[in-house]
């Protein structure tokens, strides 16, 4: 911090995920392959898959909101300022969005194709 450049958070996030980067890349590659499979099969049920992915994202976000303080060795009682709750909500939202996006290709394939 301290006159931190505007791009700094990008590198911090990258370093945060560096230990699991191979796994993350694997998930992205698998997702790309799943998207390709869905595309090649034709007529994917995009809207249904989007809905299911959003539900998954919401569930994950709720779980993240409840578990994130414990993940940092803190308790919900340690959240005492408005910013604590805002940041928790944002972190949970981000986690939910990320998981929802990553889940979308699999959900899309599992949703099958549109008939007719």
Partner 1 sequence: MADNGYETGRGLSRRRFLKLAGVAAMGAAGAPWLIDPARAQVRTSARVVIAGAGAGGLAMASRLSRLLDGARITIVDSREIHWYQPGFTLIAGGVWAPDRVTTPNSAFMPGGVEWIKADIAEFDPDGNRVVTDQGQTVRYDYLVVATGLELDYGDIEGMERSLIGQHGIGSVYAGPQHAAATWATMQAFVEGGGLGIFGRPPGGIKCAGAPLKMTLLTDYHLREAGRRGRAELIYAAHNDALFGVAPVNERVTEMFGSRGIEPQYSHVLKAVDPGRRTATFDTPDGDATLDYDFLHVVPPMSPPDPVTNSALAWQEGPFSDKGWLEVDQYTMRHRRYPNVFGIGDVNGIPKGKTAASVKAQAPVVAGNLVRVIEDREPTHRYNGYTSCPLVTAVGQAMLVEFDYEGNLIPSFPFLDPLEPSWVPWMMEELMLRPAYDAVLRGRI
Q: Which residues contact 40 (CB under 8 A, 6 or more apart)?
A: none
Name the one residue in this structure whose structure tokens are 């191979």.
22
Nearer to partner 1, 15 or 55 (CB): 15
Binding residues for partner 1, total number by CB under 8 A: 49
Nearest approach, Cβ of 62 to partner 1 (angstroms)?
A: 18
Q: Given candidates 24, 55, 66, 89, which one binds partner 1 under the rule CB under 8 A?
A: 24
d(CA 88, CA 70): 12
Q: Which residues contact 14 (CB under 8 A, 6 or more apart)?
A: none
Nearer to partner 1, 58 or 79 (CB): 79
Partners of 44 in beta bridges:
113
46-71 vs 82-110: helix axis angle to the nearest 10? 140
Query: Residue 2, by phi and psi: left (phi above 0), alpha (psi -120 to 50) or beta?
Result: left
Nearest approach, Cβ of 112 to partner 1 (angstroms)?
A: 12
Q: Which of residues 62-101 bind partner 1 (CB under 8 A)?
A: 68-69, 72-75, 77-81, 83-84, 87-88
Q: Which residues bind partner 1 (CB under 8 A)?
A: 1-5, 7-8, 10-16, 18, 24-25, 28-29, 31-32, 35-36, 38-40, 42-47, 68-69, 72-75, 77-81, 83-84, 87-88, 105, 114
């Amino acid at each position: 911090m301290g006159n931190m450049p505007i791009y700094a958070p990008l590198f911090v996030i990258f370093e945060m995920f560096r230990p699991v980067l191979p796994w993350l890349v694997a998930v992205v590659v698998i997702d790309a392959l799943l998207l390709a499979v869905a595309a090649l099969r034709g007529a994917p049920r995009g809207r249904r898959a989007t809905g299911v992915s959003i539900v998954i994202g919401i569930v994950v976000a709720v779980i993240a909101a409840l578990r994130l303080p414990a993940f940092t060795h803190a308790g919900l009682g340690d959240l005492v300022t408005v910013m604590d709750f805002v940041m928790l909500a944002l972190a949970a939202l981000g986690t939910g969005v990320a998981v929802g996006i990553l889940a979308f290709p699999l959900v899309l394939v599992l949703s099958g194709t549109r008939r007719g």
